Amino acid sequence: MTPAAPPSFAQAVTERTRRLQTRLCVGLDPRSGTYRDAAHLRSHTLDVLEATAPYAACVKPQLAFFEALGLPGFTLLEEVCAAARTLGLPVILDGKRGDIGSTAEAYAQGWLSGPHAGDALTVNPFLGFETLTPFVGAARANGGAIFVLVKTSNPDQADLQGSGISERVAAEVARLGETEGGEYASVGAVVGATHPADLGHFRALMPRALLLLPGLGAQGATPDDLAAAFHPGGTGALASASRAVQYALGLDVTASREAARRLRDGLNGALR
């Protein structure tokens, strides 16, 4: 008898959302200047991951902070991914990768398969929609997902994402997911939590896309801002907080755990 295929990223994160009643994505941004040394950075990052896991639907390591550490950073990233999977946490790698041709294929291979791959990857579409093809293919082949930048959380996103550009990207995200079965497609979208008035609009444009909502906490978004991004029952979106959790009170891991719990509870309250 052929064993059943493991759940896809979309299935796993949605099942965890329902089972644990959490829509929180815990971001990990290990900032080297904050720690005594590399060992301290490693232990604190792994401790925060373990402490916040009960309140998280998934975890999102920010690749820039691991890359800045050089080879030890890649080793730590592999440890983080392995620990997250042991804890049952799907992993989104926040790399915002995007390029053309064989370079895009290499990025897709490196970050969606192999020893330090994530279950999902954030992807930049602004070199053209054809550049998404290798990432979509790798995600589907590995049961993963991509989150395409549609409307990012930073204030100056409007320089390039205004005048209907975000809507054009959203339409492509929706098109890519049209032929997939299941509740949610493997192609999701990044829509900043800092744009609460736009969340319902983008939810409607991409009905089968998981939405990743960065900007909760340190960038100013609150749980009450985000209800329009979710489907009935509280699925379809993941609200991401990084600094507000990992460094909630300096390097106090207990404070990180409590911050994750409060954000989880705040999101649940906003959806009642």
* Catalytically annotated residues: 96
The CB density around residue 163, as the number of other CB atoms within 10 Å, is: 9
Residue with tokens 């990432």: 135
Q: Which residues lie closer than 8 Å to 157 by C-beta, 6 or more apart?
A: 151, 192
Of 129, 118, 115, nearest to 94 (Cα)? 118
Query: What is the widest separation between alpha-carbon atoms in the chain?
Result: 55
Q: Which residues pair with 188 in a beta bridge?
A: 147
* Integer Cα distance of 11 and 1 in angstroms: 23
Answer for the pair 152, 190: CB distance below 8 angstroms, yes or no: yes
Within the chain, strands assigned E span: 24-28, 58-61, 92-97, 120-123, 145-151, 187-191, 211-214, 237-241
* Integer Cα distance of 245 and 166 in angstroms: 29
Burial of 122 (0-12, 13-18, 19+ CB in 10 A): buried
